[in-house]
Chains A and B, each alone.
Chain A
Amino acid sequence: MGMRELIVSKIKDGTVIDHIPSGKALDVLKVLGISGGKGHRVAIVMNVESSKLNKKDIVKIEGRFLSKDETDIIALIAPTATINIIRNFEVVEKRKVSLPRVISGLIRCPNITCITRHEGIETNFEILSAGLRARCSYCGIELSYSEFVELILKQLGTRT
């Protein structure tokens, strides 16, 4: 805790994403579509000590309250993440991330003969937790979680 306070101060209102696996903070921001371009104050803390994870990343976003639907998507990259909603310096809501059943419109289907590639419609990937796979609900192509995450980050313009 002491280390964190040295690096970045508490936020008044907003969202803190804690317990991100070390090195994944930038990927989390990318998947959330937060580039810093909209003027919110964003603090990124990387590779700090953690009792749970040994090392972890933390992201603090001032002035934005991320909903469960918005944050569940990061469960693919940071399944250990916890979301803290802060109002007037107090944690008013604390939740874990859980895999969504469907991820809509985030990425293009990698199958070049999928109808979604030719009709300009939103993709729908069903998350099949039993087999740790994602499946395009149109063409049926299945990807492992790691392939799916790699694709998301590639298409959103960052590295795994």
Chain B
Amino acid sequence: MDIYIVRKKLTVGPHKGKEYFTLSRGPRRNLPTGNLLEEIENATTLSFADGEMMLRTLVEVVTEKISQGHSVDLGPLGTIKPTIKATSVKNRKDCNSKTITNRGVQFIARAELNERLKNMSLRVKNSNIRKKKAK
């Protein structure tokens, strides 16, 4: 994976305004679902239409289960589950659904997937920052 050196300026905290350097993946386009289904069509005996129908139904079932409060095992990918964020209150009687400020989804990847990403090859590409320094 190509990564780039980027310059960042802190906007808060005691070091506000100070410049730091770090590495970033840079902006990426998402690989659309259609391309993914084409790849599956080429690699297996499944047709594009069958794959599309299976994926649509799978997403439908997963969405339904998550909104019913279940955690869902996605097999080789990992687990997906609903989450909530709430503010704490002093009195028990004040703690109700209104204190729930946000609802979201958490994905926990299979250890195998994270392990493979850990071992991926990285290459720092020359960035504008490096070029400016060289001049």
**Binding partners A and B:** no
